[in-house]
Amino acid sequence: MDVLKEVGNIGAGNAATALSQLLNKPIDMAVPKVQLLPFEEIADCVGGPEAIVLAVFLRVEGEAPGNLFFIMTPEAGKKLLKRLAGIEVEEGDSFNEMEQSALSEIGNILAGSYLSSLADFTRLSMTPTVPGLAIDMAGAVLGYGLLQFGEMGDDALLINTTFLEGQYEVEGQFFLIPDPQTFAQIFEALGVPLEHD
């Protein structure tokens, strides 16, 4: 797990740099959590299955396939839009088409930089697909990323990274859920034998 934590750290480091360049502000990043979690508890990481989240989803293709989510609260999304694009969003959880498109693009940039550093580090090809955006219940959104796991078991590997932009408190989380058969590949690429139980 330490190796994956390191991988998550490096990915998040690059994404944090990308975000701080976008915002022209220093960004802090919390040490990522790497956990094997039951499905039920994954949504708890973002406030429970009914919490409303803003999620950018990318399917990762290549040698190390998986699902990548960038998740924010709608509030954080509004702050990000304001700071980045000068867009003032009204109260409530709805975003218009242009706002959604801007958020999707921001998520795409962050996820892309996260992914490319992971790919560099592991020397495994990881290609992002076109991002999808959803603003909905966390359970409904994240459930989609667990389908590959659904075929294997009831737990999923989660690499969870949190961002914090100092006083503005723009917070976001990366959830990387590698496909079950991908672990071995990632470990092997890092030169660490995968322990079998």
Partner 1 sequence: MIEEKSIIKVGMADLNVSTSGGILRTTGLGSCVGLTLYDPVQKVGGMAHVMLPSSAIAREGQLNLAKYADTALPILLNKLRELGASPLRLVAKMAGGAQMFTFAGSGDSMRIGPRNVESCKEGLQQMNIPLIGEDTGGNYGRTVELDCTTGKFTIRSVQKEIKEL
Tell how strand 126-128 and strand 66-72 pair up: unpaired
Rule CB under 8 A: choose which of 144, 168, 183, 187 binds partner 1.
144
Q: Which of 6, 63, 75, 93 binds partner 1 (CB under 8 A)?
A: 93
Q: Rule CB under 8 A: is residue 59 a binding residue for partner 1?
A: yes
Residue found by looking up tokens 């490096």 in the block:
10
Pairing of strands 126-128, 28-38: unpaired
Contact with partner 1 (CB under 8 A) among 39, 121, 168, 187: 39
CB of 133 to partner 1, least distance (A): 8
Of the candidate residues 30, 31, 36, 152, the single one contacting partner 1 (CB under 8 A): 152
Minimum distance of partner 1 from residue 26's CB (angstroms): 32
Task: Please say which residue, 184 or 192, places its beta carbon nearer to partner 1.
Answer: 184
Instruction: Decide: is 120 part of the binding site for partner 1 (CB under 8 A).
Output: no
Q: State the nearest-atom distance from the C-beta of 64 to partner 1, in Å.
A: 17
Q: Under the criterion CB under 8 A, does residue 43 sit at the interface with partner 1?
A: yes
Cβ 77 vs Cβ 55: under 8 Å? no
CB-based burial of residue 81 (10 Å sphere; 0-12 exposed, 13-18 middle, 19+ buried)?
Answer: buried
Q: Which stretch binds partner 1 (CB under 8 A): 1-9, 19-27, 37-45, 120-128?
A: 37-45
Q: Beta-carbon neighbour count of residue 64 at 10 Å?
A: 23
Closer residue to partner 1 (CB): 165 or 179: 179
Q: Which residue, among 124, 87, 118, has the nearest Cα to 103 in the 3D structure?
A: 87
- Of 8-16, 21-29, 150-158, 168-176, the segment contacting partner 1 by CB under 8 A is 150-158
108 sits in which H/E element: helix 97-122
Q: Are 147 and 48 in contact (CB under 8 A)?
A: no
For residue 134, which amino acid is it? A
